[in-house]
Amino acid sequence: MCQFSSPSLSCKSKSDPKTKVQESDRLVTALIPKDPTFENPQKTHLSLAISEARCIANIALPMILTGLLLYSRSMISMLFLGRQGELALAGGSLAIGFANITGYSILSGLSMGMEPICGQAFGAKRYKLLGLALQRTILLLFLVSIPIALLWVNMKKILLFCGQDDDISTEAQLYILYSLPDLLAQSILHPLRLYLRSQSITLPLTFCASLSILLHVPINYLLVSVFNLGIKGVALSAVWTNFNLVGSLIIYVIISGVFRKTWGGISSECLKGWRSLLSLAIPSCISVCLEWWWYEIMILLCGLLLNPRATVASMGILIQTTAFIYIFPSSLSFGVSTRVGNELGANNPQKAKLAATIGLSSSFVLGFAALCFAVMVRKIWASMFTQDADIIALTSMVLPIIGLCELGNCPQTTGCGVLRGTARPKMGANINLGCFYLVGMPVAVWLSFYAGFDFKGLWLGLLAAQGSCVVTMLIVLARTDWECQAQRAKELIGNVSDDADHNEEDEKLKDTKNSSSSLDGRIPGIQNLRFQCEVYTHKKLVTWGREAKEFDWSTPMAADSKHDSSLTKTHYLDWVTMTH
């Protein structure tokens, strides 16, 4: 059989036993897959772990810097809002909260549906799928932005219906109307960042973010102070900065040539085959929104406590604090998600498991560091934002609880990254729903309003949610079958690529039938062989036809096999199957 498995073998291999053994050994060796473990037997588990930690750090560290830069942008906007007076600050803050709930959280969550597709496709070297996923996701976010924009236009009516102050609602409406173009910027920015990150390209994103933030201050000064646009200028400055970031990223992609392997041009294929994307995007969106909305509900509950003015203000400071701390575990989760997705796509389940293990171990270190930070700054942190004694006291009391929450939040966030890398966002959504809303919310309400813990009870409810969440997440990850996940990655990439390759394969099939029709008379029984291949699979027919066209029928093997039609059919089908 071996002598028929390569068209380059001659008749000498039949008569010369030594040559036959050498050729057989060569063929068997070629069929053995290359494994880095066999190529580098001297590598220890420690060296592999260190190497993986470096890969994750190369992605996560630039993402941390980018997160800090974007966080500073929001702080700059708040400073310019504060200079416009108390009404502008209240209206702008309300508008930003409304935009986060109804717009930005949805766009961010939906965009994460492309993360496992791009990560696994890049690992499998199916580079063109990245460009196709980018087009589909941008188009999806554009479509979703339309109802979001309609909701924003009617925000004042919604706020008044909920009993908000008329003046504050008017200011909030003004801010959000001038933020409408930001939906367009975010619809491009989120997928573009994921497109680059799935290829482990994160440092250029940091440079582009640095450039946009450097321009953010003068843009604010120009629109707010020079042109006296007030709250409208703050909103337009944020939009302008985001478009600067999008533009700089596009320029980088073009100049660097990153797009060459992954971009097949704008294709009508982006209008088809959305099932795989939506099956990942919708659960990802639900998971993100459930966590984002928790904090907004907490602010609403603060208004029902004994001292609503102080508790709402303190809650605002604490949410800003948690947003600052969240930059670190979220960046780690991005790195872990990328590495897990790449390795599963490359069919390296053990390396994917190692990446998840290294990431989770690092997350516990981050959680302990966050706890130490919260405890150390508890007496001075609030004074950076206000001089009100009640607000400072409430903030100082709750900061250690936040530190304990981060002990669970850091591993939980990283675990969500592992689930995204394995294309299981639905599992993450179920965990968040159960732990935050079926455990954390009842505990928070009971402790705050019935057990006498007041403001502290809300954060103890969050602690219960984070604790149950991390325990559930670790159980799920510990029971993960990584071999099965590698197989699922093949199926995911196959499902996505089937839609992209369908038309191309149809064209190849037409060419194959035309080119192979001339072979029918050259080998007895070849029509029966074509039927066998067609039954075998559609793709094997295309492969068989292409190889039949390229096969050198003048070789001795072909000449000899013409006299035995059954031998030809059997060995030729074996040869096609083994080589593909």
**How confident is the model over 74-93, as pLDDT tens digits?**
889 888 988 888 788 888 88
Residues 114 and 258 in one domain: yes
Q: Is 118 inside any structural domain? A: yes
Last residue of a domain, one of 432, 452, 480: 480
Q: Please state, rounded to an integer, the average pLDDT across all residues of the chain.
A: 81
- Return the top range by mean pLDDT from 259-263, 325-329, 571-575: 325-329
Per-residue pLDDT at 201: 92
Return the higher-pLDDT residue of 203 and 549.
203
Q: What does the pLDDT average to over 285-290?
A: 90
Q: Is 289 inside any structural domain? A: no
Per-residue pLDDT at 384: 82
Q: Tell me the CA distances in angstroms from 284 to 103, 194, 420, one per residue in order.
A: 15, 14, 8
Q: Is 42 inside any structural domain? A: no
Return the higher-pLDDT residue of 502 and 137.
137
Per-residue pLDDT at 515: 45
Task: State percent of the chain over pLDDT 90.
Answer: 56
Q: What is the 3-state secondary structure (H, E, C) of 216-274?
A: HHHHHHHHHHHCCCCHHHHHHHHHHHHHHHHHHHHHHHHHHCCHHHHCCCCCHHHHCCC
Q: Is 104 inside any structural domain? A: yes
Residues 520 and 472 in one domain: no
Cβ atoms within 10 Å of 577's Cβ, excluding its own:
14
Of 96-105, 174-183, 474-483, which gets the smallest average pLDDT?
96-105
Q: What does the pLDDT average to over 420-434?
A: 92
Q: Is 355 inside any structural domain? A: yes
Residues 148 and 208 in one domain: yes
User: What is the rounded CA–CA span in Å between residue 201 and residue 122?
Assistant: 12
Return the higher-pLDDT residue of 219 and 521.
219
171 confidence band (pLDDT: 50, 70, 90): very high
Tokens found for residue 205: 């994103």
Tokens found for residue 402: 């936040």
Per-residue pLDDT at 315: 84
Residues 236 and 161 in one domain: yes
Residues 525 and 406 in one domain: no
Helix (H, G, I), strand (E, B) or coil at 561: helix
84-120 exposure pattern, b = at least 16 Cβ within 10 A, e = fewer: beeebbbbbbbbbbbbbbbbbbbbbbbbbbbbbbbbb
Residues 410 and 508 in one domain: no
Last residue of a domain, one of 250, 273, 296: 273
Q: Per-residue pLDDT for 544 more than 70?
A: no
Identify the helix (H) or strand (E) that includes residue 289. helix 275-302
DSSP class of residue 305?
A: S
Q: What does the pLDDT average to over 544-552?
A: 42
**List of residues 6+ apart from 71 with CB closer than 8 A:** 323, 324, 327
Last residue of a domain, one of 222, 251, 273: 273
Q: What does the pLDDT average to over 294-299?
A: 84
Residues 465 and 506 in one domain: no
Identify the helix (H) or strand (E) that includes residue 15. helix 12-15
User: What is the rounded CA–CA span in Å between residue 545 and residue 514?
Assistant: 10
Tokens found for residue 221: 């000064």
Tokens found for residue 82: 């504060």
Distance between first and last Cα of the chain? 16
325 confidence band (pLDDT: 50, 70, 90): very high
Q: Give ∠ CA 82-83-87 in degrees, rounded to 5.
A: 55
Q: What does the pLDDT average to over 372-395?
A: 89
Residues 353 and 322 in one domain: yes
Q: Per-residue pLDDT for 541 more than 50?
A: no
Residues 313 and 261 in one domain: no
Return the higher-pLDDT residue of 222 and 381.
222
Per-residue pLDDT at 293: 87
Per-residue pLDDT at 16: 52
Q: Per-residue pLDDT for 330 more than 60?
A: yes
User: CA 291, 295, 296, 299: dihedral to nearest 10 degrees?
Assistant: 160
Q: Per-residue pLDDT for 423 more than 60?
A: yes
- Return the top range by mean pLDDT from 39-43, 133-137, 518-522: 133-137
Q: Do the beta carbons of residue 436 and residue 469 sit within 8 Å?
A: yes
Per-residue pLDDT at 252: 95
Residues 188 and 162 in one domain: yes
Residues 476 and 521 in one domain: no
Q: Is 432 inside any structural domain? A: yes
Q: Is 15 inside any structural domain? A: yes
Cβ atoms within 10 Å of 54's Cβ, excluding its own:
10
Q: What does the pLDDT average to over 336-351?
A: 94
112 confidence band (pLDDT: 50, 70, 90): very high
Per-residue pLDDT at 539: 43
How many structural domains does the chain have? 4
User: What is the rounded CA–CA span in Å between residue 113 and residue 279?
Assistant: 8
Q: Which amino acid does the sequence have at 175?
A: Y
The range of the structural domain enclosing residue 137 comes to 63-273
Q: Per-residue pLDDT for 64 more than 60?
A: yes
Per-residue pLDDT at 562: 40
Cβ atoms within 10 Å of 178's Cβ, excluding its own:
20
For 152-168, write each residue's pLDDT tens digit: 999 999 988 887 788 88
Residues 268 and 355 in one domain: no
Q: Is 47 inside any structural domain? A: no
Does the model's pTM come out above 0.85? no
